[in-house]
Amino acid sequence: MTDQENLLGSDGIPRFWYNIVPDLPKPPAASLHPATHKPVVADDLKRLFPEALIAQETSTERLIEIPEEIREIYGLWRPTPLHRAKRLEKALDTPAHIYYKYEGVSPSGSHKPNTAVPQAYYNKQAGIKRLAIESGAGQWGCALAFAARLFGIDVTVYMVKGNSQHKPYRRIAMETWGAKVISSPSEETAAGRAVLALDPESPGSLGIAMSEAAEDASNTADTNYALGSVLNHVVMHQTVIGIEAKEQLKALGESPNIVIACCGGGTNFGGLSFPFLADKLKGKEMRAIAVEPELCPTLTKGEFRYDLGDNAGLTPLLMMYTLGHDFMPPGIHAGGMRYHGVSPLVSHLFNEGLIEARSVQQSAVFEAGVMFARCEGIIPAPESAHAIRTVIDEALRCKEQKTQKTILFCLSGHGHFDMPSYDDYLTGNLHDHELPEEQLHAALSKLPHVEFRW
């Protein structure tokens, strides 16, 4: 989409998703089959995903029409509000204009339902009766539990045992929307039983939960798998954020100089920034900054190469910035930002020098989150507070340089389920560390060498 296009319906909700691929100067690298190292074909993915989503994953169409039934459900919370953070501007004494797109108004409190709803819709169309997924922090589980229920699809969530014990409220939310939540490792799958045979007290891990979900989905004909981040179709669904923001800013006579979002798997960043980058690709000047945790620095310290999208070996090999699929980040508080890789599209743009990346320490992130809450009222998710840290840094730079810039960021969710992490910060129990170099390189050195050039 460019400045000239208005992709919104009269209800203010987008009529299209934006696919950045055909606008890119150089096409991104193909995803490869993990065994043959040949570009994946639709058949490789059919055991896990419905055909419509596989088609979107590799689409070269610029605009993909959003089915009316999905737009109607989006209407439960979309368009989301665009706010100007005037009190924050004042507290910082900055000439910058700070705007944020607030995705925390969705039923599950984050941007994830933007993709959960279409994923449930296309699975329903394909006759799928149940979705099996893993859940770490629980945001994706909540979004999908809510969305699938609207289409009468059952959801089984394999939730890492440690998390379901420490964060019971997300489990209860999923169950309220009708999902079945199973503590992983479980007796339900061969993968789970194998772990329990070795260690009956195993606290589980995201990798184990993922193997359980994938085994369940691929062994059952009417059951599919669903991913809440990273893949191309997921980023594309999230472009409703940027498409709306662009029109909302235009109505105010503004256009952002800097667009900022936190970056876990890259979808709220891509969703907000891609519609603006469409103009940058046509020559308009603007910057987009992806912000990640210092302890999981995928873009800033990872390598651009082929790696598995998951530690169970299910997804194709993706060309992306990665820390290695075995990388286990330290237990940081932003559960949604512990992923070892980042969206291949975001990676490609970064490698082409079209976007910037920055990493920030936890205590600086929570300092920013608390400042935002005290100025604007909303308590941000720890993930979103990464973006706010960088917004504050950029706004202070504007003050120093006496320049007026317009900054737009994505407030990807609220922090109401993550209050224990704020408690740790407020009581002085949150500590910063450096990521040891050995840990950074250990997982990368184990990756297979892939002979493939595009």
Ligand X SMILES: *Cc1c(COP(=O)(O)O)cnc(C)c1O
> Residue 136, interface with ligand X (CB under 6 A)?
no
- Looking at 256, 266, 316, 329, which residue binds ligand X (CB under 6 A)? 266
CA 296 from chain centre, in angstroms, equals: 14
Residues 6+ apart with CB under 8 A from 355: 273, 277, 287, 288, 289, 290, 346, 349
Stretch that binds ligand X, among 46-54, 159-167, 216-224, 378-386 (CB under 6 A): 378-386
d(CA 285, CA 278): 11
Q: What angle do CA 417, 115, 286 make, to 5 degrees?
A: 90
Task: Classify the phi-psi angles of 84: left when phi > 0, otherwise alpha if psi is within -120 to 50, otherwise beta.
Answer: beta
Nearer to ligand X, 316 or 341 (CB): 341
* Closest to 454 (Cα-Cα) out of 28, 58, 24: 28
Nearest approach, Cβ of 127 to ligand X (angstroms)? 28
Q: Is 437 exposed, middle or buried (0-12, 13-18, 19+ CB in 10 A)?
A: exposed
Q: Based on CB atoms, which residue is closest to ligand X, 135 or 156?
A: 135
Per CB under 6 A, the segment of 172-180, 266-274, 301-309, 397-405 that binds ligand X is: 266-274
User: What are the φ and ψ backbone dihedral angles of 382, each rounded to 5 degrees?
Assistant: -55, -35
Q: Return d(Cα 329, Cα 340) in angstroms, integer.
A: 8
Query: Whole-number minimum distance, CB 342 to ligand X, in Å?
Result: 8
Tokens coding 311: 């530690």
Q: Which is nearer to ligand X, 195 or 227 (CB)?
A: 227
Q: Is 381 in the site for ligand X (CB under 6 A)?
A: yes
Nearer to ligand X, 384 or 406 (CB): 384
Q: Which residues pair with 157 in a beta bridge?
A: 133, 181
How far apart are CB 322 and ligand X at their closest, in Å? 14
Among 384, 390, 406, 421, which residue interacts with ligand X (rule: CB under 6 A)?
384
Instruction: Name the one range near ligand X by CB under 6 A: 24-32, 198-206, 293-301, 380-388.
Output: 380-388
Q: Does 265 bind ligand X (CB under 6 A)?
A: yes
User: Among residues 212, 307, 383, 394, which is the contact residue for ligand X, using CB under 6 A?
Assistant: 383
Nearer to ligand X, 107 or 185 (CB): 107
Could you give phi then psi for residue 221, rounded to 5 degrees?
A: -60, -40
Identify which of residues 195 and 288 has a Cβ nearer to ligand X in the complex.
288
Q: Which residues in the 95-124 window bind ligand X by CB under 6 A?
A: 110, 112
Site for ligand X in 337-366 (CB under 6 A): 337
Provide, rounded to whole angstroms, the least separation between the CB of residue 96 and ligand X: 23
Q: Which two tokens stand for residue 434?
A: 């450096």
Q: Give the separation between CA 78 and CA 130, rounded to whole angstroms.
A: 26
418 counts as binding ligand X under rule CB under 6 A: no
**In residues, how long is the chain?**
454
Question: In the set 141, 256, 264, 302, which binds ligand X (CB under 6 A)?
Answer: 264
Residues 53 and 122 sit within 8 Å (Cβ to Cβ):
yes
| SS3 category, 51 | helix
Contact characters 224-263, ligand X, x per CB under 6 A: -----x--------------------------------xx
Q: Residue 327 burial (CB < 10 Å; 0-12/13-18/19+)?
A: buried
Can you give the binding site for ligand X, defined by CB under 6 A?
A: 110, 112, 139, 229, 262-269, 336-337, 381, 383-384, 412-413
